[in-house]
Chains A and B, each alone.
Chain A
Amino acid sequence: DTAVSQTPKYLVTQMGNDKSIKCEQNLGHDTMYWYKQDSKKFLKIMFSYNNKELIINETVPNRFSPKSPDKAHLNLHINSLELGDSAVYFCASSQGLGVGTEAFFGQGTRLTVV
């Protein structure tokens, strides 16, 4: 049983298209995240939701919009895709916002914009 699952695993699309990545966690956690890992393998936070409320919104273009329909789901919608959006996107979840709450990651979605 996968704890944090993302779909799709691979996504190839053309510039200018709109696409969504879905994330679901079955750990009962109340906090979910989106991270971006660039070509140099550097992981950087994009968004964080706690109990469906946006907590962290790093400097991310407005073309990226997260949506949390419930505590177990956090989807990422991207409008007008650009070449520079190509990366691996990871969803993660944790229990609460406290210090010791380690995050559990999904397997990632490799987005390639051509």
Chain B
Amino acid sequence: EDQVTQSPEALRLQEGESSSLNCSYTVSGLRGLFWYRQDPGKGPEFLFTLYSAGEEKEKERLKATLTKKESFLHITAPKPEDSATYLCAVKAGQAGTALIFGKGTTLSVSS
């Protein structure tokens, strides 16, 4: 069964303290790995798509990387406004499948 596991469940950082979130996956035929950000009371907001091992993408203080078994979301010098739940999701198997989500990492950044 396709599975996505995120760690840690919760992460508290001081402003400016860089760290990484992990997403490990067990799927048959990865077709894409997605990162989303979700703020309380809102829907997930798309951040990145990664397709193959070795790929990296950046957006402001966020950088996503992908290996054959996991993805990392690196947060450099975070600010309080980066506080949110970060969700990892995969598409696997045949075309037309929906996203399979992990349970998310809730990030809190204090000033």
A positions within 8 Å CB-CB of B: 4, 33, 40-45, 48, 50, 55-56, 90, 92, 97-100, 102-108
Chain A residue at minimal CB-CB distance from B97: A56
Indicate if the CB atoms of B32 and A100 lie closer than 8 Å.
yes
Q: Write out the residue numbers on chain B whose beta carbons fall within 8 Å of the beta carbon of A100.
A: 32, 49, 51
Select A41's contact among B34, B45, B99, B104, beta carbons within 8 Å: B104
Indicate if the CB atoms of B32 and A99 lie closer than 8 Å.
yes
Q: Write out the residue numbers on chain A whose beta carbons fall within 8 Å of the beta carbon of B41.
A: 107-108
- Which 10 A-B pairs rank lowest in CB-CB distance, beginning with the nearest? A105-B43, A45-B98, A97-B96, A99-B31, A43-B101, A99-B32, A102-B46, A105-B44, A107-B43, A97-B95
Range of interface residues on chain B?
20 to 34
Q: Write out the residue numbers on chain A whose beta carbons fall within 8 Å of the beta carbon of B95.
A: 97-99
CB distance from A99 to the nearest CB of B (A): 4
Q: Write out the residue numbers on chain B whose beta carbons fall within 8 Å of the beta carbon of A92.
A: 43
Given contacts A43-B89, A43-B101, A102-B49, 20 further A-B contacts (CB under 8 A): A40-B103, A41-B103, A41-B104, A42-B101, A42-B103, A43-B87, A48-B96, A55-B96, A56-B96, A90-B44, A99-B31, A99-B51, A99-B91, A102-B34, A102-B46, A105-B36, A105-B43, A107-B41, A107-B42, A108-B41
Select A103's contact among B31, B42, B46, B96, beta carbons within 8 Å: B46
